[in-house]
């Protein structure tokens, strides 16, 4: 029988693409429940699903921040959830001093507690049946911090710690956890963030910090998306492989062109190499950012970014 896959956040981006690719699986291994907070946005997904709609793909309402919505959604699913994909998420960038605690808590409510809420709901069934797979769309920012993304990175670190801990217990129940860690992906995600920051004033942030954010970080971030950004299709191919695996990995990065940066932390566990190199790339020689990545991936650290 096909495995039932529940995915959160399918109105756009990675979630939409994943729902469509799984629903079109040539071997028809999946029955996809593609969920979204606001069903008025289902048009794009339905169009992309084509003839899979109503066959291997159904659309349902689900707000990961609401207990009632989660309960309602699960009560409508025939059978049990075999694969849960925690994809819904949101970003937050900007100088910390100019961000409200409310905005920060909203990021944790969505990215972290949203996933926890869904896991709590599907886990009893998975444990009873002694099978299941929980896939979490984390980020390379779940592995290392990125300047001006403090709270977003923290929410992804939280997911990494939570699910790594849970993975140990769940092995005893034959339930697998996979944290997928994309680098920059060209979706609405970045556009939504940029729209937020162009209008935001960040009251409380000093002039130097605002200058670093607007004139140094934002152009560098755009350059990074331009030079190493992946398409959602590419990322989803990696996720589909993880879901189809008989022994799914706990962690899966999706972008080899970003790995020079993640490697900086792996090769120096003190963390200094990563912090100093990315600081240098950003504040001393930003034009090296894309070039530097290429250079780092062939193993040669450019002299300008070599830690002093």
Which CB atom, from 37 or from 280, has the smaller least distance to ligand NAD? 37
Point out which span in 9-17, 45-53, 99-107, 275-283 binds ligand NAD (CB under 6 A): 9-17
* Spatial distance between the Cα atoms of 84 and 125, rounded to a whole number of angstroms: 12
Q: Which of 8, 144, 252, 278 binds ligand NAD (CB under 6 A)?
A: 8
Residues 59-98 within binding reach of ligand NAD (CB under 6 A)? 62-65, 87-90
Region of 171-179, 185-193, 241-249, 256-264 interacting with ligand NAD (CB under 6 A): 185-193
Q: Do 5 and 32 touch, CB atoms closer than 8 A? A: yes
The nearest distance, CB 151 to ligand NAD, in angstroms, is: 12
Q: Out of 31, 56, 58, 110, point to the residue binding ligand NAD (CB under 6 A).
A: 110
* Binder of ligand NAD out of 21, 56, 144, 187 (CB under 6 A): 187
CB 89 within 8 A of CB 110: yes
Quote the least distance from Cβ 90 to ligand NAD, whole Å. Answer: 5
Does 184 sit near ligand NAD (CB under 6 A)? Answer: yes
Q: Is 148 exposed, middle or buried (0-12, 13-18, 19+ CB in 10 A)?
A: buried
Of 12, 55, 1, the closest CA to residue 33 belongs to: 55
**CA 120, 65, 91, 7 torsion-angle sign:** positive
Structure-token pair, residue 285: 């020689």
* Residue 145 in the binding site for ligand NAD (CB under 6 A): no
Q: Which is nearer to ligand NAD, 158 or 205 (CB)?
A: 158
The CA distance from 36 to 285, in Å, is 41
- Cβ 111 to ligand NAD, closest distance in Å? 6
Give, as ranges, the residues between 258 and 297 that touch ligand NAD (CB under 6 A): none
Cβ-based burial of 298 (10 A; exposed 0-12, middle 13-18, buried ≥19) = exposed
The DSSP H or E segment spanning 166 is helix 150-171
Annotated active-site residue 212? The verdict is no
Which residues between 34 and 63 bind ligand NAD (CB under 6 A)? Answer: 37, 62-63
Q: How far is the CB of 232 from ligand NAD (least distance, A)?
A: 6
Q: How many residues bind ligand NAD (CB under 6 A)?
A: 28
Residue 45 to residue 5: CA distance in whole angstroms: 16
Q: How far apart are CA 26 and CA 241, in angstroms?
A: 13
CA-to-CA dists, residue 114 to 78, 86, 106, 275, angstroms = 22, 8, 10, 30
Q: Which is nearer to ligand NAD, 64 or 135 (CB)?
A: 64
CB of 152 to ligand NAD, least distance (A): 7
Among 5, 6, 7, 11, binds ligand NAD (CB under 6 A): 11
Q: Give dist(CA 301, CA 308) in Å, integer.
A: 12
Q: Which of 30, 152, 212, 274 is catalytic?
A: 152
Query: H-helix or E-strand containing 298?
Result: none
Nearer to ligand NAD among residue 233 and residue 272 (C-beta): 233
Indicate the residue among 138 and 280 with the shorter CB distance to ligand NAD: 138
Query: Measuring CA to CA, which residue among 51, 74, 48 is closest to residue 61?
Result: 74
Enzyme catalytic residues: 152
Binding footprint of ligand NAD on the chain (CB under 6 A): 8-9, 11-15, 37, 62-65, 87-90, 110, 114, 137, 139, 182, 184-185, 187-190, 192
């Amino acid at each position: 029988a096909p495995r039932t896959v529940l995915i959160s956040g399918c109105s756009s981006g990675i979630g939409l693409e994943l729902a469509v690719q799984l629903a079109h699986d040539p071997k028809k291994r999946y029955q996809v429940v593609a969920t979204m907070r606001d069903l008025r946005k289902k048009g794009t997904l339905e169009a992309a699903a084509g003839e899979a709609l109503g066959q291997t793909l159904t659309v349902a309402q689900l707000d990961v921040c609401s207990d009632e919505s989660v309960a309602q959604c699960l009560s409508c699913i025939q059978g049990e959830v075999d694969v849960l994909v925690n994809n819904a998420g949101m970003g937050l960038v900007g100088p910390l001093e100019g961000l409200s605690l409310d905005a920060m808590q909203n990021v944790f409510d969505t990215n972290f507690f949203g996933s926890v809420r869904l896991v709590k709901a599907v886990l009893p069934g998975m444990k009873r049946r002694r099978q299941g797979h929980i896939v979490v769309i984390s980020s390379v920012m779940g592995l290392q911090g990125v300047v001006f993304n403090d709270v977003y990175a923290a929410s992804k670190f939280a997911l990494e710690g939570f699910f790594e801990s849970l993975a140990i217990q769940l092995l005893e129940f034959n339930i697998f956890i996979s944290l997928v860690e994309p680098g920059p992906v060209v979706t609405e995600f970045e556009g939504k963030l940029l729209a937020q920051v162009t209008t935001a004033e960040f009251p409380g942030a000093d002039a130097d910090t605002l200058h670093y954010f607007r004139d140094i970080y934002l152009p560098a971030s755009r350059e990074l998306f331009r030079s190493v950004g992946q398409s959602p299709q590419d990322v989803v191919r990696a996720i589909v492989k993880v879901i189809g695996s008989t022994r799914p990995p706990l962690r899966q990065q999706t972008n080899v062109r970003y790995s020079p940066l993640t490697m900086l932390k792996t090769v120096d566990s003190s963390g200094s190499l990563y912090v100093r190199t990315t600081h240098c790339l950003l504040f001393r020689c930003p034009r090296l950012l894309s070039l530097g990545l290429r250079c780092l991936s062939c193993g040669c650290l450019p002299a300008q970014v070599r830690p002093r």
